[in-house]
Amino acid sequence: MKSKKYNIWVALTYEVVFAICEQYRSLKKYKVVKVILNYCKHDWILWKIESTLISVDKDIEKIQEAWDKQEKPKTIYSELPPDGSKAQSLLGGEMRITGNYDKT
C-alpha cells in the first residue's frame, strides 16, 4: 500500500468541524474553530482529492465495461481503381471507409 501524504484523522476532523459549523454558523467566529479548520484544511484537501479520484476511477471502469458489452460498428474499407490521372496512378484510386454507425 502506498504511503499517504496526509493524516486521515486530521482530514476527518476538518470534515466534522466543518459540518458542525454549517449547522451552527455562529461557531465560525471563534478563534479555536478557525485554527482547527486552518490547520486541518491541507490534509482534508489531499484526502478529498484521493477519494474523488477513486470514485472517478470506479465510474470509468463501469463505463468501459458498458462500452465493451456494446456491439462494435463494422467498418468496410474499399478502394476504387485509378481513373487514369497521373496522381491516381502514383497513389492509387479513391479510398473509402464506410460503417454501420448508429446516428442516435
> Percentage of residues in the chain with pLDDT exceeding 70?
93
pLDDT in tens, 26-80: 999 999 999 999 999 999 999 999 999 999 999 999 999 998 888 777 788 888 8
Query: How far apart are the two ends of the chain, measured CA to CA in Å?
Result: 44
Helices (H) and strands (E) in the chain, counts: 3, 2
- Domain chopping of the chain, boundaries: 8-69, 71-104
CA 51 to chain centre: 12
Cell numbers 482529492 correspond to: 49
Entry pTM: 0.62
